[in-house]
């Protein structure tokens, strides 16, 4: 069972229902109607809809609407813009319309899209970037009709603060930990409104300490020596000896024990 620690915007503890109420009303992005419209179409999303999803994710609904109102093309929504994975979104618009999503394939779906790469021509040369888990989980969210939550850096920061555990930026962590934690959090908040909970997590994550949810695609584990407390990070399954104890003449070889880490 996941234990949560809830905090009010002004500081101080609160219960889950109050936490959801206070943080969700702080969400001011004005994109919930666009989100809900796309979620409702999950069984019949068109190529244009997937392009809208990409704009919603990478540019932001307010900016898109502003440019439309001014009858000007959005200079951000094109190839070779560093913050926009335009080419991969267009690949999704080409590949996904008409396809049927099977919930049992969620992990494979994420791994397929998360590792896709796009190139961006810049003054310093060609830069290659991954589509990433944040965007891949956004795709998953919409093709599943909102059943799978979006995981971005703010949501990870919020989950870390709420649970006191490490929120990893990996497909495995998303599938086997985050979805379970998200479901438990919704139950504790007594809500079935996934979007409202996502709004609350987004706002809560914005206030968390800098670096709390550092983006990483590495798979390192923290190892700690139970004798002296020395820590080190290595790949899961590694066997580490504590050099600190060895140097200080501890008679027994001290194996470092795996725990949580970055």
Fill in the DSSP letter of residue 229: -
Give the end of a domain, one of 161, 179, 206: 206
- pLDDT of residue 70 exceeding 60, the answer is yes
- 8 Å CB contact between 223 and 188: no
- 8 Å CB contact between 15 and 5: no
Residues 156 and 133 in one domain: yes
Tokens 């992005």, located at residue: 29
Residues 49 and 82 in one domain: yes
Neighbours of 113 (CB within 10 A): 24
Element (H, E) at 181: helix 179-188
Q: How many domains are contained in the chain?
A: 2
Cα–Cα distance measured from residue 215 to residue 229, given in angstroms and rounded to the nearest whole number: 26
Cα–Cα distance measured from residue 49 to residue 223, given in angstroms and rounded to the nearest whole number: 46
Q: Is the pTM of this model over 0.85?
A: no
Residues 200 and 250 in one domain: no
> What confidence category does residue 175 fall into, taking pLDDT thresholds of 50, 70 and 90?
very high
CA distances to 61, 132, 255 from 47, rounded to whole Å, are: 18, 21, 55
Residue 143 lies inside a defined structural domain of this protein: yes
Cα–Cα distance measured from residue 47 to residue 44, given in angstroms and rounded to the nearest whole number: 10
Residue 65 lies inside a defined structural domain of this protein: yes
Residues 253 and 132 in one domain: no
Least confident of 37-51, 60-74, 221-235: 60-74
Which domain covers residue 244, as residue numbers? Answer: 221-259
pLDDT by residue (tens digit) across 95-152?
999 999 999 999 999 999 999 998 877 677 778 889 999 999 999 999 999 999 999 9
Residue 5 lies inside a defined structural domain of this protein: no
Residue 221: what pLDDT?
74
């Amino acid at each position: 069972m996941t234990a949560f620690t809830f905090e009010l915007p002004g500081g101080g503890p609160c219960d889950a229902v109050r936490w959801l109420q206070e943080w969700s009303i702080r969400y001011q992005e004005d994109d919930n109607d666009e989100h809900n419209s796309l979620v409702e179409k999950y069984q019949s999303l068109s190529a244009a809809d997937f392009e809208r999803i990409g704009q919603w994710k990478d540019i932001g609904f307010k900016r898109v609407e502003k440019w439309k109102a001014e009858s000007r093309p959005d200079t951000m929504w094109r190839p070779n813009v560093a913050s926009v994975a335009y080419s991969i979104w267009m690949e999704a618009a080409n590949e996904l319309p008409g396809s049927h999503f099977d919930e049992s394939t969620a992990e494979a779906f994420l791994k397929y899209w998360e590792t896709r790469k796009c190139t961006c021509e810049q003054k310093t040369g060609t830069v290659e970037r991954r589509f990433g888990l944040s965007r891949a989980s956004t795709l998953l969210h919409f093709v599943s009709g909102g059943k799978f939550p979006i995981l971005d850096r703010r949501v990870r920061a919020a989950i870390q603060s709420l649970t006191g555990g490490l929120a990893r930026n990996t497909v495995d962590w998303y599938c086997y930990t985050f979805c379970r934690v998200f479901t438990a959090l919704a139950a504790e908040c007594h809500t079935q409104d996934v979007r409202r909970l996502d709004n609350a997590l987004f706002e809560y994550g914005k206030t968390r300490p800098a670096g709390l949810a550092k983006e990483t695609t590495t798979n390192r584990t923290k190892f700690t020596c139970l004798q002296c407390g020395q820590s080190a990070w290595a790949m899961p399954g590694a066997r580490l000896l504590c050099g600190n104890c060895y140097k200080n003449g501890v008679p027994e070889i001290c194996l470092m024990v795996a725990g949580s880490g970055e």
